[in-house]
Copies of this chain bind each other. A is one copy, B any other.
């Protein structure tokens, strides 16, 4: 088997420069976020923008739909772009839209983005009632089609529910274990264990608000965390979902946090004193940091095959299972 490199979450201010960087980093596939708060019609507009990216950057990227596109990208030295949503807003209140977003190419959908949704509870809510009546219907439909349930921004009971209800493995595409850093977005050992037991995947995040010592997090600390996570979950259930959000003005993180749900200002993982996009750690300023991860993971004791598992092969295998 080839060794694949996959970053299973990026939301950058897309440009030829960034596609080149991902290419230089040898990424065969990137799962990109194309919706935070958008409804169905707004998603269609975002896809039109992506269609222009694909047209203008034919030599660098193309729209990925199955694991075969990862193989194709590897062969052609391009990056397959997989669409995903960090919210269920694109399906609005209509179960029929699950199939429509799948047909548009969506392959991952979070049931919630921080707040309560129609499907489940987000990690910023005070109480977590779990997967809702409509959530159960949506999971069934997502399973039927091959739209992966992503619980990165969901609350704990909701995530346990999703693991149990989903007939296919789910993903937490971008988060870290809370044993390492107690951010609201990070996940408990019990949850990660249940995720691994169900053959679900965790994508380790490089977003500073999820990192111990945030922007000053060291490569060594990150890789030691990866080693402990592998002890907990097994080496086959851990990958990377960097959550890279580079090149954006700070108005974008404000929009991500506030959407249109509040008239007051919510600072999400930031604070009124620290409202902006955080600075990436030096060793992961962009996807070329995969090279540093490779070295760092070896340094903490991983074998080469294990490094390749974590940096892409595990996600590749997960994609292989999506339509089974």
Chain A residues with a Cβ under 8 A of chain B: 37, 39, 89, 92-96, 115-118, 121, 124-130, 132-135, 137, 140-141, 259-264, 266
Contact = CB atoms under 8 A, between A and B. Distances in A.
Contact of A263 (B95, B118, B129, B261): B95
Contact of A260 (B39, B95, B261): B95
Contacts of A115: 118, 132-134
Identify whether the interface residues of A are mostly helix, strand, loop, or mixed: loop
Contact of A93 (B125, B126, B133, B261): B261
A97 to B, nearest CB: 8
A95 B262 CA distance: 6
Contact of A261 (B116, B118, B125, B126): B118
B263 A141 contact: yes
A260 B96 contact: yes
Given A92-B92, A121-B129, 18 more contacts: A37-B93, A39-B92, A39-B93, A89-B93, A93-B259, A94-B260, A95-B260, A95-B262, A115-B132, A115-B133, A116-B133, A125-B132, A126-B129, A127-B130, A129-B129, A133-B261, A133-B262, A137-B263
24 contacts: A39-B92, A89-B93, A92-B92, A93-B260, A94-B260, A94-B261, A95-B261, A115-B118, A115-B134, A116-B116, A116-B132, A116-B133, A116-B134, A117-B118, A121-B129, A126-B129, A126-B130, A127-B129, A128-B129, A133-B262, A134-B261, A134-B262, A137-B263, A141-B263
